[in-house]
Chain A
Amino acid sequence: MANSTFTTIGRKVLMALSGFFLMFFLLQHLTINMLSVISPDMFNSVSHFFGYNPVIQFALQPVLIFAVVFHFIMGFYLELKNNKAREVKYAANSASENSSWISRNMVYSGLVILAFLALHFADFWIPEMEYKYVAAEAQDATRYHHELVEKFQSPVKVGLYALSFVFLALHLLHGFQSAFQTVGFNNKYTPLLKKLGNIYGVAIPALFILIAVYHYLNPLTH
């Protein structure tokens, strides 16, 4: 196993697997967030369950963080290594003739997502950790919805979120089908899969943007 980690294919397969995990996570995250639009009460109760369930908090959350960190570190490592495979660059290079911009610039869309994650952690995860473990305040199963809505009252922030999701879309549009290709899935279903990937890559970020905009346009009235 150690050996496979260190070959190009081994590394890429691990990138793909962590990618699959993160794409699944995104779907789940989106589902919960959709509840904040559809039913604030349900959103609160699900959030509360996720926030205090020990399996999720102490088993799944570290796995998720590990997957995120791994995906980023491996991604940058591969990018650096791949850069070294061509020491002298071309004076003229018409890469757009043979490949898409998004497929060649995964590291940049990834960097934007990384910056976004810092903002996102500062907005939600750090306050949450502080609430639960530093300040050790009492459990309150009704606080999540309004905490969420309050975060989206600044147009700048909503703009930043929306922009980040555009980059997420770019990342997913290549990442989805690329992950399947890397794990060896390329057959008569591939055209269908690519369509599915395009739907996924556009729909998930679009819905996230929609949620942010929705909360901006519907501030809490109490």
Chain B
Amino acid sequence: MSKLDAKIPEGPLKDKWNSYKDKIDLVNPANKRLIDVIVVGTGLAGGSAAATLAELGYNVKAFCYQDSPRRAHSIAAQGGINAAKNYQGDGDSFYRLFYDTVKGGDYRSREANVYRLAEVSTNIIDQCVAQGVPFARDYGGLLDNRSFGGVLVSRTFYAKGQTGQQLLLGAYSAMNRQIARGKIEMHNRHEMLDVVVVDGKARGIIARNLVTGEIERHSAHAVVIASGGYGNVYFLSTNAMGSNATAAWKIHKKGAFFANPCYTQIHPTCIPRSGDYQSKLTLMSESLRNDGRIWVPKNMGDVQAIRDGKKKPTDLTEEERDYYLERRYPAFGNLVPRDVASRAAKERCDAGYGVNKTGEAVYLDFKSAIQRYGKEQAKLLHMPDASPEKITELGEKVVEAKYGNLFQMYEKIVDDNPYKTPMMIYPATHYTMGGVWVDYNLMTTIPGCYAIGEANFSDHGANRLGASALMQGLADGYFVLPYTIGDYLSHDIRTGKIPTNTPEFEQAEREVKEKIEFFMNNKGTKSVDHFHRRLGKIMWNKVGMSRNEKGLKEAIREIKALREEFYKEVSVPGSDQEMNQELEKAGRVADFLELGELFAKDALDRNESCGGHFREESVELAGEQKGEALRDDKNYAYVSAWEYKGEPSEAVLHKEELKYENIELKQRSYK
């Protein structure tokens, strides 16, 4: 019998959430004033949770490492947010969104959670519009939708290419209202460095003031972790430079199980790395694949000529190009899911067909789209004898209206005009589906400690669909956690303020201070980034898009060795009594060096290919699907939840069996 109890309510799928809500314990408004809640992280999940909990009457203390809650990395999400509104009348429903999400996640997510997500998705749109989020509208003044990620309906709401920004600013405005009312005590430029567990319950955190260096104790009746994902374990990712796993990892070390760390999404359309100095990668919205065609040259000679600058991609005829996605997946073509598109790009580049100097780039070409739109426009404008130049010009205008800001961003970074020469793209780490294990209430295995948004593992299974991350973050923060946390806090109305002068707080603070002192006094010779880069290389090469037993075992060994070297050789200049960005990074990289090992261990355990996790040992051996990922439902239809036991290598695996009662498990096919 597993220690894990997901606490999924009984009853038919469609009624679970509503009947559960009717039955859970509530806290009366007068008592809410007596209860404190800590929220770590102010992105979509943390920001919306903090605002809603404060609105309900709890005293919220919110923390973010940035100088303002508005800067959390949710702000960088481009494409949109899904919701089963069915405004387009194209047959969308809660069930269909639920189905698409479970299927897209390659049948590795929890049915009840996903159905609940689909149900509350519509409230998100209502809520955000009421807050003044300027979603795109059509000429009738109603909300516009776009299709996204190859699903069969148009359910994605968007605000230009800045949907994440607008949703985050909406949550930030709701927070501001509560900060002004005094219901949220906001701690900017603070980093949580440990959770404090008292009598088995999460009762507070230790945080460092990043401006003064002071170590602070903060107590509360519950702690909510909304600190995002751990994609920066790869060093290079589309995450923000400061995005880190420290809060999630610290609670893991204090008893929260960590689930499915190997489920990572490698996004296919990012701007390629240009050199070793590269600090981060920039995502180009997935929507580009609606109009762009992906290719590499057919002949090695052309590849070399392009790399040497002797040929331009535009010199190659259609016959000399290999549109490999269209070739391999005729049914979905360029619109296959992210994991499939990423692996296909890697396959071509590994075979030597990469088109830039690093050998890690493929073309995303808009020429066909420009011509198609140009001809369409010429027809609309009654110009039957439009010259080819005119058609190109008209087509470019259409493309500009659709993707102008992305094209401009590309040009700024690469210094190349993507209207004239094809874009170069390559996959990059983007999102982590894995995270802290939570039950149906979003509570971790530490009572009173919750994890929401990307920080938890809950809804996306082994692969996330486009425009679903924003949906999950806001669903957790606005509409799920505020209910479920009440059930727990209803037992705390007589507890009174949690004192911070207890031995548990003292010990936690001591441990944090010792760690900081270690870094300050460790007169090493290498910078934190040096180790982070090396960790990233191991992760990318051996625990990246394609994994095998040998590589994973090597990775585990190498990460462990790197960790030991890190503690011997890392150098942190300056003082801990002031702003010290190297010290901040040191703590984060120390945690990545442990997480990376568990990540590889999890990938080794899961000897199947599912979603973003591809094991070379688990592929179709024959038939039409030969070489494609092969899922193993018989042996691996479970959530891996790891318990910390002192070292990542000693982590103990607990399995939560996944039961599918409303969906039939199928092998995905995009042929």
Note whether A and B contact each other (Cβ less than 8 A). no
- A residues near B (Cβ < 8 Å) are none
- B residues near A (Cβ < 8 Å) are none
